[in-house]
Each structure stands twice: as C-alpha cells, then as structure tokens.
Structure 1
C-alpha cells in the first residue's frame, strides 16, 4: 500500500517517523545545512523494510564524486534491491537511476529522473538529483528546462518551494538569461533567506556580468545564512575569492584561501576542486602558490583507481599538480586517465566520452603549459573550448580554460588569439582589472583605452 509523502508522492513506508526523517534528509540535500546521513539512518531505523532511505544515502554518497565512496554506495543499493519488492514504482525508478549513476551511466540516469518528473512534478528528490547530474554532465538545457517544467505544479507555501525556485534561477543563469535568473534568485530569498543555492545563482549572474564589487557585497549581505553550518560555504567562499580576483586584489584572495580554502576546510573533492581552480588562476597570474597547491594535494584521495573517474575533477587535479611543481605526478595522472578513457573497460561510462572529447586535451594542454610550450598548450586547448561544457561545471568554473589560453597567448606566439579572446570578454562585460591585466600582458593597443 502506498502512503503519500509531504507533497503527495507515493512512498511505501507506513511509518510516519521514517517519512519525516526522510523529508528532513531531503531538506538537507537541497539546503546543504549539514549532511542527510543521520536523518537517513533514523529513517532506516524507524522502518527497516523501506528501500528509499538506502537509495537516498547511496545517491548522496555518489553525488560527492568521491571514487572511494562507491563501495559504500553499492552496499546501500544492494540493500535497497533486497527491499524493492515492497517499493512503489516511483521508488524503484529512483533505485534504477542511482544504480545507473553508480555504473557511470549518467545520461541514462537523467533520463529516468526526467520521466519521473513528468509523472511526479513535485518529486523534489528527482529534481535535486537530475539538476546535480545535469550540472556534472554540462547539460545547460536540462538545468533550465526541468525546473521550469515542474514549477507551476508547486505551491509557494511548500517549505521546499524556494529551493526549487533557486534551482530554476541557476538554470536560467547557465543559459545566459541573467535578468530572469537574478529575479528568480532574489524572489527565492525573499520567500526564505536560508536558500544558499539562490545566493549562489545570483552570485553567478554578477560574476558573468563583471559586477565584482557588487558580488562581494552580495555575498557579505547573506553571509550569516551560509557561512556557518552549511556544506555549500566553501563554494561560496570560492565565489567571493573570484570577485576579489576580478579586482586583482591578490592579497585579499590569498587571505580567503588561507581562511576558507585550505587545510581542514577541505574535506571532500568538490572543495579541493574549488581550491585548485583558484590556485591555478593565481599561478597563471605569476603568483607562487606551490606550497598552497602541495597542501591541497596532500589530503586529496588520488590513489589507485581514482584517475579517470570524472574528467572535470581530473583536470583540476592536474592543474594542482602542475602548480605544486609535481610534474611527474601530473604526467602519470594524465596517462592513467587516458588508459581508462580509451580502453574497453566500462565503455558505457559517460565520463569516458567527456574525457576523450574535453578532459584529456585540456590536461595535455596543462602539461604543455607546464613545460613552457605555450603554443602547444593553445593548440591543444583552444579546439575544445567551444564544446567544453560537455565535461561539466558552470560558465564561471570553465573560465579556467580562457584564463589558461590568455596566459599561454601572452607567453607564446598566439597573440592574435589572445586579442580575439579579450575582445570577446570586453563585449560580454565591463573591462575589469583582471581583463585589463590580460590586455597589458598581450601588449594590445586597447589597453590604453580600457
């Protein structure tokens, strides 16, 4: 017999305490206030025959993009399969989707969640997870379209409504619909100030529009809501660092790195990727960040079997190795990524295509840059620039590619390409101190006019 959850979606547990604990876990997944693990354990204890909490736990573990957690996630999925005869079709669909994620078949998983949302538009779990893996896959259309399809079915009084609206805001931003994205993000926060994803969506708008001082003020305005007790804090500190970097406030960036993007603040790969991305940008500007980069690498799970799991993370790992001066380690990492992506094992993994099309050329370009061969770096990186969203991340994160191309153009013979990239940048947003830096490094006559 099916029992409705808080939004009327069918679930198989008759235990109210179990359903309430799962609902609390869902809120944590969407709000990032602490992890959902304790709540899911409580749901399992309240109803040991309910499969969904095991699926939710597996999905959360896999969402961290930590290869070392795959075995634990697999164990929970095995437990869920043993309980699946009691599950509703909706719950079995979630089980199928998370199993596909475990197998690396992210495109197929997102198709399952998409079908779930067509049937159950108020399934917040499906929406949260499909947007997350749309982001990991670089599916900008999905980021915009899926929240837009379901929002009309939501009641603004629902406690999760503001979180759904925030997902919509981010999807709009990643499709360059900046005024609409900012309006949706601000509306979400007016409904509920404890929605870090909405703060994040508006910060992305300001980043893309070159509003770096306003962006810093925006994050400071909402800092009390996101800086403590929230798993998203590290990423928002990264955004604040980007705003300071756009102002060429290098000392300010390094203060933020030391306080919020190093040492014990880095607990998972997603946080280390943020630190890596920032340190690489500083490296391109000529800052010696080798000690910082070595510190990031020291606790990064880069053991046997981790290379080639997710191309986006692999690129950032290689950038950190290069910035740390660990060139041999970087060469070995790229070789292992290539062996996995080009081999026959796990041929259906979404990541293998991502690595072949984008990740491996980028990593090889970083290696060329590290050897001082700036022109080869350009030759490797520029051809994949236009399709780089296929290896995941946001526009702001993938700006690492343009920053690397600008640095390589300034060091080598490809000044014409550097001019073209700066022209594109100047047409997209006001000339910032960071853009002016590249104008000067490229010795472009526009530098005097900017």
Structure 2
C-alpha cells in the first residue's frame, strides 16, 4: 500500500478497501469513504474510489468518477510520486484511453513491482481489452518480488493463474490457482482461473464439481458470485443440461441479482447460448432487456457490453431497438472526437461487425451471418473479455452455419464444420459439441477420428 498518509486508521481502511477490490468481498466504497474521513488530505482513497467506479464499465458512473478526480486534483501537489502516477493512469481510463493507462501502470510496476493496486487495475483493463499476453506477462514480471508472507500474495497469484490460462498454459494455470486457494480459500479469482481451465479443456464434470467444492467461500457476500454462477451454467450447457442451466439463470442471474451491466451481460450470454441450443427461454429476454440501461448516451462506451445489449434486445424481439442501438454505437465509433479511446478500435474492428452479424442471423440471413462471424474470429481477442466469453462468437457461428440454406455443400456449412474441427481438436468431445456435430452433418466416425 502507498504511504501518502500518517493516519493509521486511514491506512487500515484503504488497505481493507484494496483487499476488497482484489477479493470481491463487498464493495470497497465504505472503506474508502472512511479512509478519506480519517485523512481528508490523502489523495489515494479518492483515486481508488474513482478507479473502482470506472472498473464497473458503467457509462453512468463516469460523471461521479470525474467529479472525484476533479475534487482530488488540488491534493496532487503534495502527494507522493506513486500516487500522482496512479492519478494520471485513472484519468486516462476516464478518457477512455485504456491501453495508455495500462502502459502507465506498467511503468509504475517496473519501479514498484509490489504495488498491488497497479497490478489489480492493469489486470482488469488488460482483461477488458482482451490483452492475454499482458494478463500473463505483467504479473509474471512482478510476482518474484512477492512471497507467501504477503497478505495479498494469494490474490496476486490468482491474477497470475488467470493470465496463464488466457495464454493456454493450462497445467501451470491450474497449479497456480490451486496454490493460491491453499494459501487463502477466500480468493475467488483463483476459483475463477481454475474454472476457466476446465471450461477450455471440456472438463465439464470436473468444473461443476470444482465450483461446488469451493461454493461455501464464493457464493455468499462476494461480488464475483454471479460470474461464477455463470461458469457453473456453462458447465451445464456443455453437458447439454439446458433445464439445469435455466434454473441457474433464474436463481442467480435474473431480477434483483442484476445490478450492473457486468452481471447483465452474463445473463444475456447464457440466454443467447441457451436459445441457440433450442431451449425455451420464454419471457426472460423481455425482463432482461427491460432492465438494461440503453439510454442514448450509454451507447458506444464499451463494445463488449454493447454487443450483449444487442443480444438482449434481439432476444426480446425488439429488432428495431437493437438496430437503433447499433446505429448509436456506430456513430460514436466513427466520430473523430472519439478516436483516442480504446473502444474506438474495438468497436470498429469487432463490436460493430459482430452486432451486424447477429442482426443478420435474426433477420434470416444465416449464411451471411456465418461468413461474417468467421471473418471476425482472427481478431476477436481485441473485442475484450476471456476466451470463454468470446466463445459466444463461435457458438453463434455454428448455429448460423447449421441454419444456412444450401445443404451440406454450402460455404456456410463448410465453415461450420471447419470451426467444429478446431473445437474437437482443442478439447474432448462434449454433449454440446456432439449436438453441433449432428446439426452440421458431422458423422460419429468423424467425431471419433478427431477426438
């Protein structure tokens, strides 16, 4: 923790807030307000509060974060250099310059590799940008400076585990995640990293058992619980247990459980996958779309969230509203005034074409959707999120290819089978993979040959 205060109560409150930010056990806002109350002249708690609000990727919270930074500006002159470096990086995030902010935190970490706040924030925005290489390398550069006696070491090791997984280093990722949990069971990011490993390897039974085993620690009082329930539902989907996945949606990803967009997009992703697999989703789409903040000024903040908003609107049958949302996102992404924002490139290269492809499939142009989705795959990481989240692109492609007219010899079917071949060589066949194989005309003999 930085040392810009002489108040021990302020320092203790800020340290508690940092632990909450890394472990997701309750929001850190009350702790940060307490730190500020104990030392009103301390810059860092105000920065942490602004950065936390921005980390939720809610455009509606940007004004509050901006006000916090404006109020904190007079405190910078007397603040330590590290705090001023954090202030500059958080302002870059506010401006939408996420890549520049991560570079600023990287420079800070070269001099101060034990700055957990810089590690946490850079890791989050690497994740939002889909930067798998830095998810691994940035933590790897700092980790040897830490040891098991550091209270936050398990949380940092969990960050390392997730970076390893996103770089396809699955055995190392699982080992690091399990080690972090052995040191501190209250490390949900490590639970998450190991769940990702099992998802990517097709180990759906192992994954479901893993989450059940760890559930007493993450399911209560933890802001990350909704996303881990999402992972539990993914394992149900892989087993083709659609009814079980729907039960998890209803119990943990609906109604009052959806407070912010990061939670809503998990619900949209699950409902979309369920619908493509033939589940009767019913009025759940309408309830999700009704609660989604789609005011005009919200469009174009973050392409990853924008795509999930389109899915919610399409699922609810509100094609016109989905088209209007896409148009507003495109207007912002094509604006010269917005060119400095990281989302400018993310939206133009991936977000907008992906939304158009999903709209095309909804309108009945399955073949066109399959071709468009295939063209997006090479650069899909620039869309942000994890491999497991971006798998929605491939699942949408398989569904579009299966729906395309023209029979077995159509280009769309050929694309679908090629993507399925990739999937079968990457992980063991699962019931869901067999479902898509059947829809695309891949024989059981071919499945055995590829497995």
The corresponding residue for 1:442 is: 440
Q: 1:269 aligns with which of 242, 246, 261?
A: 261
Give the SS at the match of 2:149: coil
Alpha-carbon distance in structure 2 between the residues aligned to 1:449 and 1:27: 47
1:111-122 equivalent positions in 2, closer than 5 A? 111-122=103-114
Alignment partner of 1:83 is 2:81:
no
1:45-444 equivalent positions in 2, closer than 5 A? 45-412=37-404, 413=410, 414-444=412-442
Alpha-carbon shift at residue 346 of structure 1 (Å): 2.2
Alpha-carbon shift at residue 297 of structure 1 (Å): 1.5
Alpha-carbon distance in structure 2 between the residues aligned to 1:373 and 1:440: 21
Q: Is the 8 A contact 1:312 1:359 kept in 2?
A: yes
Deviations 1:264-311, CA, capped at 9 Å, x for gaps: 011110000100100010111122324111111222211121111000
Q: 2:25 aligns with which of 33, 40, 46?
A: 33
User: Structure 1 residues 106 and 260, CA, compared in 2 at 3 Å: closer, same or farther?
Assistant: same
Q: Is the 8 A contact 2:374 2:415 kept in 1?
A: no
Alpha-carbon distance in structure 1 between the residues aligned to 2:80 and 2:376: 43
Give the SS at the match of 2:297: coil
Q: Is the 8 A contact 2:357 2:373 kept in 1?
A: yes
Alpha-carbon distance in structure 1 between the residues aligned to 2:444 and 2:102: 46
Q: Is the 8 A contact 1:439 1:447 kept in 2?
A: no
Alpha-carbon distance in structure 2 between the residues aligned to 1:449 and 1:403: 18
Alpha-carbon shift at residue 382 of structure 1 (Å): 1.3
Alpha-carbon shift at residue 58 of structure 1 (Å): 0.3
Alpha-carbon distance in structure 1 between the residues aligned to 2:265 and 2:313: 12
Alpha-carbon distance in structure 2 between the residues aligned to 1:302 and 1:374: 27
Alpha-carbon distance in structure 2 between the residues aligned to 1:84 and 1:52: 9
How many residue pairs match? The answer is 442
User: Structure 1 residues 92 and 187, CA, compared in 2 at 3 Å: closer, same or farther?
Assistant: same
Can you give the 5+ residue segments of structure 2 that lack an aligned partner in the other structure? Answer: 405-409
TM-score (norm 2): 0.97
Alpha-carbon shift at residue 448 of structure 1 (Å): 7.3
Deviations 1:38-60, CA, capped at 9 Å, x for gaps: 00000000000011111000000
Q: Is the 8 A contact 1:144 1:172 kept in 2?
A: yes
Alpha-carbon distance in structure 2 between the residues aligned to 1:372 and 1:287: 19
Deviations 1:325-372, CA, capped at 9 Å, x for gaps: 111111111111111101122220110100000001100000001001
Give the SS at the match of 2:428: coil
User: Structure 1 residues 332 and 447, CA, compared in 2 at 3 Å: closer, same or farther?
Assistant: farther
Q: Is the 8 A contact 1:290 1:324 kept in 2?
A: no
Q: Is the 8 A contact 1:31 1:197 kept in 2?
A: yes
Q: Is the 8 A contact 1:261 1:275 kept in 2?
A: yes
Can you give the 5+ residue segments of structure 1 that lack an aligned partner in the other structure? Answer: none
Q: Is the 8 A contact 2:161 2:172 kept in 1?
A: yes
Alpha-carbon distance in structure 2 between the residues aligned to 1:280 and 1:342: 28
Give the SS at the match of 2:275: helix
Q: Is the 8 A contact 1:22 1:39 kept in 2?
A: yes
Alpha-carbon distance in structure 2 between the residues aligned to 1:110 and 1:39: 25
Deviations 1:165-217, CA, capped at 9 Å, x for gaps: 00000000000000000000000001111100000000000000000011000
Alpha-carbon shift at residue 447 of structure 1 (Å): 6.4
